[in-house]
Structure 1
């Protein structure tokens, strides 16, 4: 794995970790669908000048290879990524209303466990280490989510679990399309698709108010420009040619950053029981990446 890819994915995780704060604060002004609609459209618009610049540069340097079916593949990848991102981000936005920033970040990081499991559907074996990581994450989730006197899961925690599954699908879709398409263009398409679908839901189920949207300009701009326009694009570029499980490990660092951001900016705290759950989940994240058996020289070099 190239250092450049690791740095890009690490920057993505850092931006996303702080974005949990922006998403939480944004809910004080607008509804979840409105927030995601506006942020996604901003993210798409921010990338248009970048696409124009890079296209002009490639034409000037005569680096525009003609690949049959490339446009159709690009559109298909952008639409698939956009649908997956729309579902994942909206479940996340609804869920963050009912839980803390730190818990939201850690539960979302469950994709580090789910991604290898999804690999089974592509005939990839699941090692005993992964099974142990799944069991450890279940215990961690129990301590993190079962904060009441009964066994009921908090509504926000359940929504975040669904969000983690959907983000896992998003990572797998990117892994499929990113090696063969322009990452910036696919990212731009996914934002407009996500914004359009969220906009339809916004008009059907919410009452958007321009005054409230303008009042939430700070969290909306951060989520739109940084979390969408910058971070998701860095994810697509950084994940190109990288094992999706390894990529998900680096991206999962957003959970730790979200806890620190929630503590530093919003003053949110976790109980000792919840902190223990976070520790177990982070342990599961690390355990899922431990090498099993002997590696071939090629695999060892990639790692």
Structure 2
């Protein structure tokens, strides 16, 4: 297989790919409706990611053999644990709060990422990073939380969902960090295998194992979509993109998942497109556009001002 020079691909292409990833993830809210009701959370995570890991390992066996090392294994395992914990907290939290609140609190990772990146990489977030992340969060609130929700309280469901958001932020930051230290494709394979193994072990210990009768044709078809597209393509693309797009920017693009989730819900599930949703969409897009353009305008203004002083 020909080796792709990921560094030669423009950052703008990775940002477009992140949008494609969020569109696919947004579609899973509707497409995976049956499978999440038929298979317990840890078992589903285990089947999803272990299958993805095995398929990717077979496809990239020569590549992985070339870049594998103790250091890479330890980093890949850590990424798998971070992502598994995030998904588990999010899923259990969903059982104790509304879907809208769960989606909103999960999306708070776009605000958390710049601060974790500050701790890990010693790169202080800019005012633009923080402001646009908060603006995006307002848009996500408008999109995710309906007027019928009883309000935002901090119970067990909300607390676990917030822990999940923190772990998603940690995962995003450490993918960016580790991809500078090891091969990102090998890290992704190891992440999948670790995450899948964690799910299978926790599922075997605490949940009811799915029976053969569970795997009807619709369930299998949804699992195939989840493994091939929502896992291998999306997480593989995300991890590669995080090596080339700053985490604070990437997290804002990833927040579009909530937008696409609603769009697919309107198109395929009959949800009504309200003024609140439209305003939420606009606010999120304004936040992303501001995060992309304001730093460049600020730098241009500073250079122009410096030139005038000279």
Q: Deviations over 1:42-97 (max 9, x none)?
A: 111120222136569xxxxxxx6xx8xx6122112211110111011222333455
Aligned residues: 285
Q: Which residue of 1 aligns with 2:6?
A: none
Three-state SS of the structure 2 residue aligned to 1:28 is helix
Q: Do 1:133 and 1:285's aligned partners in 2 also have CA atoms closer than 8 Å?
A: yes
Alignment equivalent of 2:299, drawn from 291, 294, 300: 294
The 5 Å alignment of 1:134-283 reads: 135-136=134-135, 139=138, 144-145=144-145, 147-149=148-150, 152=153, 159-211=160-212, 213-215=214-216, 216-269=219-272, 280=283, 283=286
Q: Do 1:106 and 1:256's aligned partners in 2 also have CA atoms closer than 8 Å?
A: no
Asked if 1:25 corresponds to 2:34, the answer is yes
CA distance change for structure 1 residues 191 and 135 in 2, over 3 Å: closer, same or farther?
A: closer
Q: Do 1:120 and 1:126's aligned partners in 2 also have CA atoms closer than 8 Å?
A: yes
CA distance change for structure 1 residues 7 and 131 in 2, over 3 Å: closer, same or farther?
A: closer
CA RMSD of aligned residues (A): 3.3
Distance in 2 (CA, whole Å) between partners of 1:257 and 1:155 is 27
Q: Which residue of 1 aligns with 2:116?
A: 118
Distance in 2 (CA, whole Å) between partners of 1:118 and 1:285 is 20
Q: Which residue of 2 aligns with 1:132?
A: 131
Give the gaps of 5 or more residues in structure 1: 57-63, 298-303
State the 1:255 CA deviation. Answer: 2.1
Distance in 2 (CA, whole Å) between partners of 1:7 and 1:82 is 25
Give the gaps of 5 or more residues in structure 2: 1-9, 304-310
CA distance change for structure 1 residues 73 and 23 in 2, over 3 Å: closer, same or farther?
A: farther
Distance in 1 (CA, whole Å) between partners of 2:286 and 2:102 is 17
Q: Do 2:49 and 2:231's aligned partners in 1 also have CA atoms closer than 8 Å?
A: yes
Q: Deviations over 1:166-225 (max 9, x none)?
A: 211111111111133222221111111111112222122211122354133232222222
Three-state SS of the structure 1 residue aligned to 2:72 is helix
CA distance change for structure 1 residues 235 and 176 in 2, over 3 Å: closer, same or farther?
A: same
Three-state SS of the structure 1 residue aligned to 2:124 is coil
Q: Which residue of 2 aligns with 1:108?
A: 106
Distance in 2 (CA, whole Å) between partners of 1:43 and 1:294 is 42
Distance in 2 (CA, whole Å) between partners of 1:234 and 1:95 is 27
Asked if 1:8 corresponds to 2:17, the answer is yes
CA distance change for structure 1 residues 19 and 199 in 2, over 3 Å: closer, same or farther?
A: same
Report 1 or 2 for greater relative contact order, CA contacts < 8 Å, sequence distance ≥ 6: 1
Distance in 1 (CA, whole Å) between partners of 2:50 and 2:109 is 25
Three-state SS of the structure 2 residue aligned to 1:208 is coil
Distance in 1 (CA, whole Å) between partners of 2:275 and 2:62 is 51
Q: TM-score, normalised by structure 1?
A: 0.78
